[in-house]
Amino acid sequence: MGLDSRVKCCPDGLVTDRRRRIKVLDCTIRDGGICNQWNFDHGVVRRVFEALAESGIDYMEIGYKTQSGLVDPDSVGPWRFCEEADLQEVVNSGPLKIAAMVDVGRITTQEIIPAADSSINAIRIATYAHQMDEALRLLEHCLECGYETFMNVMAVSTLGPNDVDEFLQQLAGSGIHNVAIVDSFGALYPYHVRYLVHKYMNYLGESIKVGVHFHNNQQQAFANSIAAIDEGVDFVDATLHGIGRAAGNCPLELLLFYLDNPRYDARPILDLVEEFASMRNELRWGYHLPYAISGFFNIHPRTAMDRMARADRYQVREMFETLSKPNKT
Amino acid sequence: MGLDSRVKCCPDGLVTDRRRRIKVLDCTIRDGGICNQWNFDHGVVRRVFEALAESGIDYMEIGYKTQSGLVDPDSVGPWRFCEEADLQEVVNSGPLKIAAMVDVGRITTQEIIPAADSSINAIRIATYAHQMDEALRLLEHCLECGYETFMNVMAVSTLGPNDVDEFLQQLAGSGIHNVAIVDSFGALYPYHVRYLVHKYMNYLGESIKVGVHFHNNQQQAFANSIAAIDEGVDFVDATLHGIGRAAGNCPLELLLFYLDNPRYDARPILDLVEEFASMRNELRWGYHLPYAISGFFNIHPRTAMDRMARADRYQVREMFETLSKPNKT
């Protein structure tokens, strides 16, 4: 039974079959890891891998590759580094592709080994627009190493339209395989998303896939994903129970319900809900006013995250008033 | 500064000024009361009234009028009845209009006194489509009593398209002032909403206002409100921090951020966030998988609410599998 027929008051066929062409990238461990410094034990990560594989998800982003010496290994969990030994304990080869993120400026090319020698299939390069030259050098190395590549240009909501044009033009001829529209601050509404999807698709052309990575500060991560799907993107990022930095991401289970694609089976994902729900009280992703306000004002969630660690976290009027002053926005 | 200019990567003017014509109905105490049997003390309700008045909100739905003898007054709080003595303790006259809901079949016309003698300005009639004849008799009495009137035809997602046509035709000539599209089960996606808004507006014509009342089971209450605003509705229901039955409603604060209307001031609302956030752990509205699943399958949240009271609330695979069977949906 198709999804449309569940809602009886509307005829079937109100949306196109663009839902059926979406590929899904789960970034539970990578983006969720920002909540707990990547301290997921190997058992959790293996269970996530197995559930995603059984569900037919396309990509699992399992963490960051990070330059050695940059972060104290005793202060974070193993998915901050994604060493081969750790990966081999939790993943098997199969149709579920393994992705790792690298931050421009926090990795050296020497530490990215040939894809043939790695459990990693895809590298996601996270960059700010002003670092694009360095991002492209990193991309060149990743392509030489044989990886499928993604470029996540962060915080697009803070750039001027011309800056977006510029980096898209650079990416169009770069050899990159996938580019994500990244709403790092949870600032976008669906009308922004529709505009950006068309811009990205127009600049990047047929050979580069366009996807989305949304944050849920204003309860728009899933809704913005729906808007993007409707406009024709190729892939969507999501996480189990919406875990992710600050308010979190698009919940994977809601996305699978919506996609209505027999290729995906939501049930193995549902088996993990209890385990992730139990983390939510401590890690505090989800709908909280400090995140909603930082999203609305289009600023980094850093100050909201600091506030969430305090007892007066919900005394938000002064936060709102400070950000409302014209010179602060 | 307009809202559009906060998100720098998109030009201003991507949406119309339909946001500026929206009126806001707060149903914190009425729908939120379903979570705690309307056991808000008078101080809370007075603080809500004062904040809404100061914020410039248009309507406050303060509870239900209920037939005496139907519900044991010792088992529920005063906002299940909205007696005049209770109302007078918490509201003052002013531009903020007071609304009360009546359920068809749970009120007699004798218990609805003339508007001139009441603190209530507007009656919202909640009905199922099959009770429409009785709803229209109740409406006639409310109009004679001098109230502004609303009709909330519940669970529209479960009706066939012809049933929707039929009740809309009945309402078109009824004298009703406002009709809400009511997604009682949290089943609708934005594409359903766009379809329904046009249908309601086409049938009801220029003289009847159309609004929306959404539930947040699939994190779509605010997103669906945005879709409805974009299509031209006149009013939107929302609640403080999204409190409401099961997953709750559209959060009032997010709605005010979006409306970008200088007529509304979000700050008095923000002062109440801490008080309402403190109720959330006990009353458990918000994003929880049992509600997401009941919303997706377009069923009453009753079983999900029962499940949420149990320790195994997040063991949801069997719930999903049962509802997936064709004869159960």
Residues A79, A42: Cα–Cα separation, whole Å? 10
- At residue A3, does pLDDT exceed 90? no
Put simply, whether the predicted model's pTM sits higher than 0.95 gets the answer: yes
Inter-axis angle of helices A289-296 and B252-259, nearest 10: 10
For residues A38-59, average pLDDT:
98
For residues A8-34, average pLDDT:
92
Check if the beta carbon of residue A94 is closer than 8 Å to that of residue A87: no
- At residue A4, does pLDDT exceed 80? no
Looking at CA atoms only, how far is residue A183 from chain B in angstroms? 10
CB contacts < 8 A, A to B, total: 181
Residues B152, B102: Cα–Cα separation, whole Å? 10
pLDDT in tens, A91-123: 999 999 999 999 999 999 999 999 999 999 999
Query: pLDDT over 90 for what percent of chain A?
Result: 94
Of B212, B188, B194, B224, the closest CA to residue B297 belongs to: B188
* A126 CB-side CA count, 13 A: 20
Mean pLDDT over each residue of chain A, to the nearest integer: 96
Interchain CB distance below 8 Å, B192 and A10: yes
Residue-level pLDDT at A231: 96
Locate the domains of chain B by residue range: 18-282, 288-328
Residue of B nearest to A314 (CA): B274
Residue-level pLDDT at B71: 95
Interchain CB distance below 8 Å, B329 and A219: no
Radius of gyration of chain A (CA): 19
pLDDT in tens, B19-58: 999 999 999 999 999 999 999 999 999 999 999 999 999 9
B217 contacts on A by Cβ (under 8 Å): none
C-alpha distance from residue A33 to each of A79, A239, A320, B324 (Å)? 8, 11, 28, 32
Looking at CA atoms only, how far is residue B111 from chain A in angstroms? 34
- At residue A328, does pLDDT exceed 60? no
Interchain CB distance below 8 Å, B6 and A298: yes
Selected residue of A10, A156, A224, A315 to mutate for chain B interface (largest B Cβ count, 10 A): A10
- At residue A82, does pLDDT exceed 60? yes
Interchain CB distance below 8 Å, A296 and B220: no
- At residue A329, does pLDDT exceed 90? no
B219 vs A163, A222, A274: nearest CB: A222
Looking at CA atoms only, how far is residue B312 from chain A in angstroms? 8
Interchain CB distance below 8 Å, B254 and A227: no
Check if the beta carbon of residue B152 is closer than 8 Å to that of residue B126: yes
Residues B127, B125: Cα–Cα separation, whole Å? 6
ipTM comes to 0.96
Confidence of residue B1 (pLDDT cuts 50, 70, 90): very low
Per DSSP, B91 falls in state -
For residues B93-118, average pLDDT:
97
Interchain CB distance below 8 Å, B157 and A230: no
Residues B123, B115: Cα–Cα separation, whole Å? 10
A164 contacts on B by Cβ (under 8 Å): 9
Residue of A nearest to B164 (CA): A9
B267 contacts on A by Cβ (under 8 Å): 317, 320-321
Superfamily classification of domain B18-282:
Aldolase class I (3.20.20.70)
Looking at CA atoms only, how far is residue B268 from chain A in angstroms? 8
Interchain CB distance below 8 Å, A326 and B1: yes
B218 contacts on A by Cβ (under 8 Å): 222, 254, 257
Residues A52, A29: Cα–Cα separation, whole Å? 12
Of A178, A241, A177, A214, the closest CA to residue A29 belongs to: A241
pLDDT in tens, B63-88: 999 999 999 999 999 999 999 999 99
Strand (E) positions, chain B?
23-26, 59-65, 97-103, 122-127, 148-153, 178-183, 209-214, 235-238
Strand, helix or coil at B105? Answer: coil
B220 contacts on A by Cβ (under 8 Å): 222-223
Mean pLDDT over each residue of chain B, to the nearest integer: 96
B286 vs A160, A287, A314: nearest CB: A287
Check if the beta carbon of residue A185 is closer than 8 Å to that of residue A157: yes
3-state secondary structure chain A: CCCHHHCCCCCCCCCCHHHHHCEEEECHHHHHHHHHCCCCCHHHHHHHHHHHHHHCCCEEEEEEECCCCCCCHHHCCHHHCCCHHHHHHHCCCCCCEEEEEEECCCCCHHHCCCHHHCCCCEEEEEECHHHHHHHHHHHHHHHHCCCEEEEEECCHHHCCHHHHHHHHHHHHCCCCCEEEEEECCCCCCHHHHHHHHHHHHHHHCCCCEEEEEEECCCCCHHHHHHHHHHHCCCEEEEEHHHCCCCCCECEHHHHHHHHCCCCCCCHHHHCCHHHHHHHHHHHCCCCCHHHHHHHHCCCCCHHHHHHHCCCCCCCCHHHHHHHHCHHHC
- Residue A172: Cβ-neighbour burial (10 angstroms; 0-12, 13-18, 19+): middle
Confidence of residue B243 (pLDDT cuts 50, 70, 90): very high
Per DSSP, B3 falls in state S
Looking at CA atoms only, how far is residue B260 from chain A in angstroms? 11
For residues B251-277, average pLDDT:
97
Residues A24, A226: Cα–Cα separation, whole Å? 13
**CATH architecture for the domain at A20-282:** Alpha-Beta Barrel (3.20)
